Amino acid sequence: MEKTSVEIEKTAQVFKLLGDKTRLTIIALLMKKELCVCELQVVFDMSQPSISQHLRKLKDAELVKETRKGQWIYYSLNKNNDFYSLINFISEMIPGQDEKIQQIEKVNPTYTCDC
């Protein structure tokens, strides 16, 4: 089936989003587990608004979804998205994020997320 120009434009937009190192790392981390903004702040030297901006772009493209748990919002990959198989394929080429996941998990258990 031939791709329409709209589908090609959307695919180009996804590649553009994934071309950013921070967003690509966020995707790789979300392949491992759902995370909130404050947990992402543990591994990125960025402000909460900057991380939220990256997540908003990924959410607008329907690559990630959010779930409210109490007062916190957790982000996860949208496995129902047409591009999930592409993201899954690309994530295989990204170096392991286990060290960053361990960083997140080492955060003081009494740490209060204020995102």
Fold of 5-95: Arc Repressor Mutant, subunit A (1.10.10)
pLDDT value, residue 99: 83
pLDDT value, residue 3: 66
Spell out the domain ranges in the chain: 5-95
Find the helix packing angle between 21-32 and 48-60, rounded to 10°. 80
pLDDT value, residue 108: 45
pLDDT value, residue 2: 61
pLDDT value, residue 72: 87
Q: How many CB atoms lie within 10 A of CB 64?
A: 24
Q: What is the mean pLDDT of each run of 10 residues along the chain (115 residues)?
A: 79 93 94 91 91 96 94 93 89 81 70 50
Instruction: For the chain, report the end-to-end CA distance as a whole number of angstroms.
Output: 44
pLDDT value, residue 113: 55
